[in-house]
Amino acid sequence: MVLDQFFEQIKKQYDEKLPFVVYRKPNSSELKRMFQHDDALHVVVDFSESGFVFAPFDSLQEAYILPIEHADVICAKFDKNDFSETEIRSHETSDIVNNNKESEKLSHIKHVEKGIEAIAKGSFSKVVLSRRELIENVGTSPIEIFKRLLQRYPTAFVYCWYHPKVGLWLGATPETLLNVRGDQLKTMSLAGTQAFEGSADVIWKDKEKEEQQIVTDFIVESLRESLGNRQFSSDFIKVSEQKTVRAGNLLHLQTEISMRLSPETRGLKPILEALHPTPAVCGFPKEKSKSYIIENEDYPREFYAGFMGELHLKESISRNPNRRNVENNAYRVQKSVSDLYVNLRCMQMKDHQVFIYVGGGITKDSDPVSEWEETVHKSKIIKSVL
């Protein structure tokens, strides 16, 4: 399909106030869009459904899905040159990047100081505190912003999700919640942040390494608990070494985690309940830090730090390496695929207003001013495409 036509049809779906999602997976040259046939709002029951799921930070609230049986799915190929003109135009609004108010800075610093006090009292060992920034009179269309995100963040999961009864969200997230292909599950822990200044060969402070290890330990233990009291060998869950990865103008610490699912452990609901929200977006222990966030942040996170992505879609995979074989289809198998991502580096659009959500992990060693500066770095990712 011609790319211009691909986006024209998205605009038509949006103008007609019909639900859709358009997205690109990390390091992919394929765009995928899903159009729902009507404006019905479908709620996830037990994560056995198939479609594109959009779930909030608070797991006690409803998650929504564009069901595959009520939608059309179309794919299109692109390359980086398709959006080069968009990239040039985006620099015209660079003045938006540095419009933080002093009152916002002081408010967030006090927010962090209060969190550190709670840690000192033993309430929890880590809490992720965020802020929401309002930008008004944004004249750029969401589809244009989506194109700019595609151009700038090739290694991120980039998406634009819309439902007339819920709202419109966009983002470019570097963090995977989980990938499942057949019986293979992969996830990651991602924590620690510093600005990218030309090289990924950097030194990480003890605070950042500790934060990363908390997330990794939580995920491994949560996966074990989600599978019940079954006995597994010590290498049943595999954990990689920490490594530095780049996401736009930021660097993070990442650890990869994988495991094999058995027929009795393939249901995703207990796994998602155990993993979400991870300490990377919430804190540790989970329930205590989550309650603190909900009580002390002066706005609802809604879908910020929630998760979204493909849920139980079918993917056809060839077992035959010889693609020219005319009988190749006989060697193809279908696997159930779930690719879910944490909703970070995101924004919510309401008319000509944009709400940007950014945060950072707070531990006993956190410096409130540095934490504010970290949120400023993160906000640049979204503001620079407005």
Q: What is the chain's pLDDT, residue by residue, as a tens digit (386 residues)?
A: 589 999 999 999 999 999 999 999 999 999 999 999 999 999 999 999 999 999 999 999 999 999 999 999 999 998 767 765 444 444 444 445 455 688 899 999 999 999 999 999 999 999 999 999 999 988 889 999 999 999 988 999 999 999 999 999 999 998 899 999 988 899 988 877 788 888 888 999 887 888 788 888 888 888 888 776 555 555 678 999 999 988 767 788 999 999 888 766 668 998 999 889 988 899 989 999 999 999 999 999 999 999 999 999 987 665 555 555 555 555 556 788 999 999 999 999 998 899 999 999 998 989 999 999 989 988 887 788 88
The pTM is what? 0.85
Q: Which domains does the chain have, with CATH numbers?
A: 3-87+103-319+328-383 (3.60.120.10)
Please give the distance of CA 262 from its chain centroid, rounded to a whole number. Answer: 27
Whether the CB-CB separation of 371 and 192 falls below 8 Å is answered with no
CA-nearest of 270, 184, 247 to 380 is 247
CA distance 270 to 265: 9
CA distance 241 to 214: 14
First CA to last CA distance, the chain: 27
CB 136 within 8 Å of CB 353: yes
Angstrom distance (rounded) from CA 166 to CA 56: 11
Rg value, the chain, Cα: 21
Q: How far apart are CA 278 and CA 224, in angstroms?
A: 15
Residue 320 C-alpha from the chain's centroid? 34
166 in Cβ contact with 326 (< 8 Å): no
